[in-house]
Amino acid sequence: MAIPRLTREQKVETTRIAILDAAERLYAEHGIGAVSNRQISEAAGQGNNTAVGYHFGTKIDLLQAIVQRHQEDVEARRGILVADAGDSSDVRVWVDCLVRPTADHLASLGSPTWYARLSAQLVADPALRGLFGPNARSTPAALLSVLRALDQCRPDLPQTVREQRDAMSRQLITYGYAEREEALAVGRPAALRHSWEVFTTGLVDAITGLWLAPWTPVD
């Protein structure tokens, strides 16, 4: 039985997916700055070392494509949670809308995954964080709805305290995902004993507690 030949469009799409997969893994494992387009092309099975540039352009374009393919599913999940939340004034409900979509997305991919570790690098780099999350140049509508709802229902805190807790929340979320992803990838027993659901519940509890915790006036 003859194997159907791929069309040109199918071949291009297959190549693009292979490059995205290879780039995401290599960036996560070795660091964005340490990985060349040549290495990505080789890992993607491309004989032509210019394949990355041909299909994606610059490194920023490639990173943007990686983020976009994950964020579409994350934001679809977030949109469902936002609709369910309605006009809730419960801080925990909105923290869940913030945290759960990415965790559920990562869980749906199986293991190992690399996106959380790559995301942590993007957030840490001032030149790249504009590609990702609430720092993105174009914040997704569902995420924007969550951030607005959190602003309305969180306690009325001094600006300095609010800014600190914003930063702490981002750290807990971003590096919490990344640490768990790495732990699963290397098979650490503590991570394997618990599901993404258990992790997510704990993370939501921690961030909710952070926002509702008392604060000490400072002169």
> Which tokens hold the place of 117?
């570790």
Distance from CA of residue 140 to its chain's centroid? 13
Q: State the amino acid at position 101 in one-letter form.
A: P
pLDDT per residue, tens digit, the chain (219 aa), is 555 677 878 888 889 999 999 999 999 999 999 999 999 999 999 877 788 989 999 999 999 999 999 999 999 999 999 999 999 999 999 999 999 999 999 999 998 999 999 999 999 998 888 887 665 667 789 999 999 999 999 999 999 999 999 999 999 999 999 999 999 999 999 888 899 999 999 999 999 999 999 999 876
What does the pLDDT read at residue 135?
58
User: Does a cis peptide bond (omega within 30 degrees of 0) precede residue 112?
Assistant: yes
- Alpha-carbon distance 114 to 197, whole Å? 18
Contact 119, 179 (CB under 8 A): no
- Alpha-carbon distance 38 to 47, whole Å? 10
What does the pLDDT read at residue 47?
77
What does the pLDDT read at residue 133?
63
For residue 7, give the DSSP letter. P
**Terminal C-alpha separation, the chain:** 80
